[in-house]
Chain A
Amino acid sequence: MTALAIRGLRKSFGGLRVTQGVDLAVAPGERRLIIGPNGAGKTTLFNLIAGDLKADSGAIALFGTDIARLPARRRAHLGLARTYQIITLFPKDTLLRNVTLSLLGLSPLRWNPFARLDRQHELIAQAGRALARVGLADMADRPLAETSYGERRRVEIAMALAQSPRVLLLDEPFAGLSVDERRDVKALLAAVPREITIVMIEHDMDVALDFADRISVLHFGAVVVDGSRAEVVADPRTREIYLGE
């Protein structure tokens, strides 16, 4: 079975056809890198997969379940998690509360108006473990507003991992990070168990190349090249798209 199977996915904004028939098949446990120049439709593709946008046509299957018509929240419950290119967190809350909210999203407890959230020790301990996983355990009680950009990136990843997703979508996880921070995030992602399939968008090909099992090159809203790392790097079309020759 395929972890993520996309067929003929299309999306237009008015007359602008951003996604023009994307086909993609990601195997369970795979690390897939999606690269492409600015405006290739990478983030739109993620928004379609995660449900932030509704596709005009096409099919998206998560482990065989058709999710193309489901709202984003249902997809999350089916095991899809994502991070955002532009970090979207809860700035007034602590790191721990941010991750707790992520865990709460999949728990029936989220509808409970009578319990006290700060007494949900099981949930909070779980959030603490997720933070420890990204090396932020000692900062758990710090307000998010007082953290660095690189730390926020790691909080985003902790929130996504906390949900124990089956498929994790990472939208440019290295964007805006310093060399040191990149190394940290890279090590962190390398440690993610293979039960979690990862699809990663990166604008800069070099950064994430060694992370990927397979690479898809997106250009003008369609997958142009698809194959193993070596195949894609050797393909003349990749060169053409990136160097404009």
Chain B
Amino acid sequence: MDSLQLLLDGFASALTPINLLYALVGVTLGTLVGVLPGIGPAMTVALLLPVTFTVPPASAFIMFAGIYYGGMYGGSTTSILLNTPGESSSMITALEGNKMAKRGRAAQALATAAIGSFVAGTLATGLLVVAAPAVVAFAIAFGPEDYFALAILAFTAVSSVLSRSVVRGLASLGFGLAIGLVGIDQQTGQARLTMGIPQLFDGIDVVIVAVGLFALGEALYVASRLRHVPPEVIPVGRAYLGRADWARSWKPWLRGTALGFPFGALPGGGAEIPTFLSYATEKKLARGVAREEYGKGAIEGVAGPEAANNASAAGTLVPLLSLGLPTSATAAILLAAFQQYGLQPGPQLFDHNPALVWGMIASLFVGNAMLLVLNLPLAPLWAKVLHVPRPYLYAGIVMFAALGVYALNASAVDLIVLFVLGLLGWAMRRFGLPVAPAVIGMILGPMAEIQLRRALAIGAGEVTVLIKSPIAIVLLLLSALALLTPLLRKLMARRRGERITPGSHPE
């Protein structure tokens, strides 16, 4: 098989000593920052972007793969050991995980999360190896109108799925699209919405947007509502898993993987829905001890969702690498990382830069194995990170945010833009607007414009060119469906007089 050979080449590049070192630095930094309370995987990647500025692309992406998976691992440690919901993707893990920890089974909860993440991550990365080239083969035939329809689908799906209120999801998307418009139009050289500020001619860098909305926004939000009693951290020893717990864990791991991967690959699917589904499935399938323990700390309720969470992280990479389509905030920032190096993910990337793509995929396997080794014995160490006093933690986050943004262009104007975006991020958090649509809109908006103009240029101004291809029609119908589904669900719920389950929380 062709892609198998390429993957082996990828391993050859990922396993060189220097790249192994980059992978190790990536997973360590990713776990460390991911463990910090209040920091999700998206913010982890955004904050660590500047670290990779001076590294050559192939190594940088190997490091990124490590940061990405490391951030996911770190998040689950936080949610098990702290009795408060953390980032949306590991919120479900906290339900049973924290109860297990309280009953003195923290070591087992952490172990099933770590081993489950390893199993799911490895299997799902294997699926990525198979799926990505298949999608690429299919996407070769895509015209600009299809890519435009794909972007519309990503916009609508992400806005309507991630928020209980569609109008707030769309509002967030609108902010992102407007930010994406700032700068010089690449085709005609006209400055748009720059207010005559020369520093804005190149547009607003995505690092500023991500760091502003996530890091500074979070710090301001925490400042406005700081919990003055420090949260209780459950002490934990080395993470391990007994024979009985292995027997109870392995099936939920596999089922979680099966749920997580496809949802991760869908626009708007994300990690929230599959983790929730996995939790519900395990609850339904629970028998005997598990049934009694469910709700009081059943290991199945940690194993399944945690596997689903990591599998969806790998699933997200399928549309990202093969179509250039980000389906989550984290993926959008990864896409921006590619753009930093002048690379555009999509079928061409597999063609022109196979070494880079397959090196990154191979290092996902490598990083996953490293994380397992890093997480089982070092759990007590990561637990210590949770004790960092909050004033220092958030002051440090803002300091690193400022450093990363200033390092981009050595310009104070960027810091002011960062501040304005931080205020926006704070307001969005406060009023329950999901942040992901803004980040995706900002990054995908300019690409949607290019494809739209290309399509209309080919069609000589005829708007009908946008619905000429069957693929585009299907994608646009799906987008309409994504917008209408929440409305229909609301109507149905009203008729039945039931409350809708709060299925998802925005990142």
Instruction: Verify that A and B bind, or say they do not.
Output: no
